[in-house]
Structure 1
Amino acid sequence: DLLDELPDELREQVLALMKKEDAAEVEELLQYAPDSAGGIMSPDFLAMDKNLKVSEAIQKVQQLSEEAEMAFYIYVVDENNKLQGVLSLRQLLMNAANKQLSNIMETDVVAVVPETDQEEVAHIVSRYNIMAVPVVDHEGVILGIVTVDDIVDVIREEATEDFLRMVGAGKDREILLKPVLQNALTRLPWLVASWVGGILAMFVISSFEEELAKVIILAGFIPVIIGMGGNIGTQSSTITIRGLATGRVNIKRIWSFIGKQLQVGLLLG
């Protein structure tokens, strides 16, 4: 992530100081968008041939565990390094030494491609309650893994974006570091929308001017009505944005959801 922010010339200088193997791995990761599975994945993981026996796999784990980002999962591959299955370290230790990995692995593997958005990867980890998600290319070759440690950072970033959207302050997490003018322009659209709504409310209220003049006490309820309307709108926008972020609201059925929120708002009003 840090290298991705550096100017091209400085980035090349840093890469030149690294070991060739490490530099090659970093350059490969830099090809992907920073907010994608490829951009946050680790290329260090445990992958073993499906024809290995359990005893051989255990020896290999002992040799490679320090190099792997997470030794909890062992990814089983074929001769072309295509992902075939996965098994946990516990499964490996609980099986007979002469069994082949292909006979004890789980073949129903949840994997993503490098272009998958990091938020979708976070949803997968949450939905399936797994510690890591393998990243494969379009031919099924395993490229790396996204661990739960990386996902924690993603969840924090996405939650910050959601909260900023809820209050109409854009989605840039670094909004506090922006210049005053840029900060104001980011927050202006939602305030303009609120201003337009206020103007419309003014015209509606003015149409009842004669009634208000006859029964002046009704004017005292106007701030209450406006306040309740604002609160209902805030509740609906918060529920909608959070629902979209967590995947509980399907974007394909968004109009149905909006219609339901309008009905709830009218009922409360």
Structure 2
Amino acid sequence: MLLEQVDKPFSDGRYIFEPKIDGHRLILSRSHGETKLYTRHNNDVTSKYPELIINGPDIVLDGELTVIDPGTGIPDFELTITRFQSKRSRLPISYVVFDILRYDGEDLRHLPLMERKDILDRAINDSPTMSKIAYIDGHGEDLWDAIVERKMEGMVAKRKAGRYRSDKRTDDFVKVINYSYADVHIGGWRKGDFGWLAHYNGRPAGVIELGVPPTHKQAFYGVVKPLIIGEDREFVYVQPRIKAKVKFRNWTKSGMLRSPVFVDFVLSA
């Protein structure tokens, strides 16, 4: 089940609110004693996480696989990707389970969310490797304040009566992202798939691929030609004089913008 996105946190007694875990989606399926693990794109990653291959009843769980930063105690996406991509890494994982789709031969997707939560409580016990996600009833703005204070990724609101739908996005599940903001200069563009090169404090800081309206692209390419200073096979480089505001998930450890989204051009004084 995928998430719609809304711009602002809210409170509503029809919803529960969960912290958004910064990792990658993972479906755990155990049938006839065999456990399989799949990403949201249905890639089999069972061999990557042998810690999750355990005995128990037939079950299908939905959750997020993450690695906790030992310094902050919160999920760390870069550490998660390091564990995912490396054949040798044994960074300790945490599988945070937020839904149950099947249990002991029964399809549960037609049940309201809170009934599925009750079954999930009975179906699995928390351990260092696998745990059920915590949630707050109705008071989304209170949870949001804690999310912002701890610099976590965001929050997910889930309608209590919502059924599990994997065929389309609905407002039964919505997310609010705890974005950071920065002003960057555009230092060029990619020749292939769209992307503007972002510079921050005089250094490369990533590629802006998302959120740019056609009118803003047209305006950029209408004025940028006199600023061109060179090119190679992949990029055209320009004097970084055009400024833009972006929103992004966080700064990476190497000082890059993670998933920057264009907000607007910034007029220089």
TM-score when normalising by structure 2: 0.25
Between the two structures, name the one with larger relative contact order (CA 8 Å, sep ≥ 6). 2
Structure with a larger share of its residues in strand: 2
Higher-Rg member (1/2)? 1
TM-score when normalising by structure 1: 0.25
